[in-house]
Amino acid sequence: MNYVGEIVGVGSFIPPKAVTNFDLEKLLNTSDEWIQQRTGIVKRHWVEKNVSTSDLAYEASLEAIKNAGIDKSEIDMIIFATLSPDHDFPGTGCFLQDKLEIPGITVLDIRQQCSGFIYGLSIADKFIRTGDHKNILLVGAEIHSKGLDKTPEGRDVSVLFGDGAGAVVISRREKTSDDQSQIISTALHADGSYAKELWLPGPGNAFEDDRCTLAMIEEGLHYPKMNGRNVFIHAVKRMAETLTTTLKKNNVTIDDVDLFLFHQANIRINEKVAEVMGIPAEKIFNTIHDYGNTTAATIPIGMSDALKAGKLKKGMTVGMAAFGSGFTWASGLLKY
């Protein structure tokens, strides 16, 4: 039997607490003008103290399952992409599974950062095509706000990130034509030689003795570090490369694609990718102005918002690209 995977339900959840650039001016010695000019971000949403990553994922998952028109008991696999888990172990997918009350099914956590959703989409597609699974819940969820340096020393990184979750249900169907809704193609890449250009140094088992010490905390190793210039250069290059290759592989042109969903790290990155590839601005759906960088959640949140805004409709051809820590990068093509 020749199977394909189809996205049949999309959901998202954004914490209600909005944090504007003006709010950050009071903490980070920055300005609304500085942030907008360099990133395009106007606000982001941060959770309250008693909310976990799996809590956000749960809300997004319920919406995706509802929109898929199935019962949660019909889900037979969860793929959870996050770099901000509830705990070091077990994986956050298990906490989500418990909250959804669907024990016994396959649960897989992946750590591909900003590329996590497309990596997860590729994994789901492979499982669907084997015929082993029928309805896969793919979730990207992040809580960055609890792990940011909210002092002037953390300004360059802390202005970028927001919290949120997005989810999709991918269902199996027998392939009957190339025009039906389906995941057409994905491409996954990484280059670990750049791992320390965007990373969280500690805690960790790469240290000589204890994985977490007071000295690490005092040095600020528990806050993310980034070489912003190098990340920008590689993001533009790699996103354009992988998306171009994916389109060519499937004999698809820019004109054939109805909507592009890019990872939302910096509006300048997306504008440059569009310039390099010759993509009209009106074909790119951006959300960074409202949410900042929500890492693995950005593309499914964008998909959800595009649906609600009437920008994404059934039958459209959608191109995707992402780049993030690792370095990892990925692209995808689907018929919605």
Q: What is the pLDDT of residues 263-292, one digit of tens each?
A: 999 999 999 999 999 999 999 999 999 999
Structure token digits, residue 91: 């994986």
Q: What is the pLDDT of residue 80?
A: 98
Burial (Cβ within 10 Å: 0-12, 13-18, ≥19) of residue 289: middle
User: Which strands make up the sheet holding 77-81, listed edge to edge?
Assistant: 3-13, 164-174, 135-142, 77-81, 106-110
Q: What is the pLDDT of residue 171?
A: 98
- Which sequence spans correspond to the domains of the chain? 3-174, 182-335
Q: pTM to 2 decimals?
A: 0.97
Q: What is the pLDDT of residue 295?
A: 98
Find out whether 157 and 222 touch, Cβ atoms under 8 Å: no
Q: Do domains 3-174 and 182-335 have the same CATH topology?
A: yes
Q: What is the pLDDT of residue 315?
A: 96
Q: What is the pLDDT of residue 209?
A: 85
Residue 133, number of CB atoms within 10 A of its CB: 21
Find out whether 61 and 101 touch, Cβ atoms under 8 Å: no
The domain 182-335 belongs to what CATH superfamily? Answer: Thiolase/Chalcone synthase (3.40.47.10)
Tell me the catalytic residues: 114, 263, 293
Q: What is the pLDDT of residue 75?
A: 98
Segments of the chain with pLDDT less than 70: none
The domain 3-174 belongs to what CATH superfamily? Answer: Thiolase/Chalcone synthase (3.40.47.10)
Rounded CA separation 198/238 (Å): 15
> Taking CA 273 as the corner, what is the angle to CA 269 and CA 276, rounded to the nearest 5 degrees?
135
User: Strand, helix or coil at 5?
Assistant: strand
Phi, psi of 179 (to 5 degrees): -90, -10
pLDDT tens sequence across 186-234: 999 999 999 999 999 999 999 988 999 999 999 999 999 999 999 999 9
Find out whether 299 and 118 touch, Cβ atoms under 8 Å: yes
Those residues whose C-beta lies under 8 Å from the C-beta of residue 101, and which sit 6 or more positions away, are 72
